[in-house]
């Protein structure tokens, strides 16, 4: 999608942080932007000060009927959605998995993972029918690397990565692009928005966000996303400092495969079907 001018972008979690930064980066390139967010009050203020053509759409990404309403509102104003950014999410609560309340796990997965599916379910078929469009799903470096104390969050973000990889294969033959964003620490209002949804204060410190660390400028992330949409880049990795850790995980996986291949009695089976060559 080389030309973004005149395109309609629908962005969840758009009232602040990464979502707003993506919206601004796309608006600079001429896109019309629908910012969707669960916080209607903050959303109204954001839209009023937005540097471009924008619409606010209150949306809880868990509510499938609300998705349909938000889509109608957006498309009545700007026409069919060309770019979908499934960015809304909440943070971890710093509990060990064994100590996590079931309702906490369900809430994190419902917003971070099922919320992404709900967006895809609402818009992807229409993009496929038009043979045009692009979807960006926000995962995390926690979708590439696990860590203690954020297990449910890790599970949700690994899920987003897997969903996005499968979606990419499915939509590519139809001219629809897919990207997955895996940010690390970014200076956003994630803690505040998490507190509003859960009613609990976010943890001051987790392995993913040590105390005192603010994170990179979301504007930088927004620009990386806009660039990726234009060239149909799948992986958007704004934090180069995680490269060695991800390489270490990949090396451990390769070593495990090698061990299996060298085990007595091993007999190669048929390769997995349906995985296109890269």
State the catalytic residues: 153
d(CA 106, CA 144): 21
**Residue 234, CA atoms < 13 Å, CB-side half-sphere:** 12
Residue 109, number of CB atoms within 10 A of its CB:
16
DSSP annotation string for the chain: ----TT-EEEEETTTSHHHHHHHHHHHHTT-EEEEEES-HHHHHHHHHT-SSSEEEEE--TT-HHHHHHHHHHHHHHH-S-SEEEE----------GGG--HHHHHHHHIIIIIHHHHHHHHHHHHHHHHT-EEEEEE--GGGTS--TT-HHHHHHHHHHHHHHHHHHHHHGGGTEEEEEE---SB--SHHHHHHHHHSSPPPS-BTTB-TT---B-HHHHHHHHHHHHHHT-SEE---GGGHHHHHHHHHHHHHHHHHHHTSTT----PPPTT----
CA distances from 150 to 91, 99, 185, 210, 234 (A): 9, 11, 14, 13, 25
d(CA 151, CA 135): 26
């Amino acid at each position: 999608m080389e030309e973004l001018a005149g395109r309609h972008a629908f962005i969840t979690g758009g009232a602040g942080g990464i979502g707003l930064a993506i919206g601004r980066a796309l608006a600079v390139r001429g896109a019309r932007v629908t910012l969707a967010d669960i916080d209607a009050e903050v959303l109204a203020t954001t839209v009023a000060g937005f540097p471009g053509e924008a619409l606010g759409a209150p949306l809880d990404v868990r509510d499938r009927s609300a998705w349909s309403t938000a889509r109608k509102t957006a498309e009545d104003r700007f026409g069919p959605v060309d770019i979908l950014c499934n960015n809304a999410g909440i943070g971890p609560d710093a509990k060990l998995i064994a100590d996590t309340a079931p309702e906490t796990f369900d809430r994190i997965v419902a917003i971070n993972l099922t919320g992404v599916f709900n967006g895809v379910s609402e818009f992807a078929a229409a993009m496929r029918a038009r043979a045009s469009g692009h979807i960006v799903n926000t995962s995390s470096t926690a979708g590439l690397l696990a860590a203690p104390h954020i297990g449910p969050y890790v599970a949700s973000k690994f899920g987003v990565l897997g969903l996005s990889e499968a979606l990419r294969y499915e939509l590519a033959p139809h001219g629809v692009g897919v990207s997955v964003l895996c940010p690390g620490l970014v200076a956003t209002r994630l803690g505040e928005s998490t507190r509003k949804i859960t009613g609990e204060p976010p943890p001051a410190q987790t392995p993913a966000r040590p105390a005192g660390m603010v994170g990179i400028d979301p504007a930088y992330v927004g620009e990386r996303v806009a660039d990726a949409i234009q060239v149909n880049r799948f992986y958007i990795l704004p934090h180069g400092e995680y490269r060695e850790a991800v390489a270490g995980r990949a090396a451990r996986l390769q070593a495990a495969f090698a061990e299996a291949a060298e085990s007595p009695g091993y007999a190669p089976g048929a390769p997995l079907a349906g995985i296109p060559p890269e």
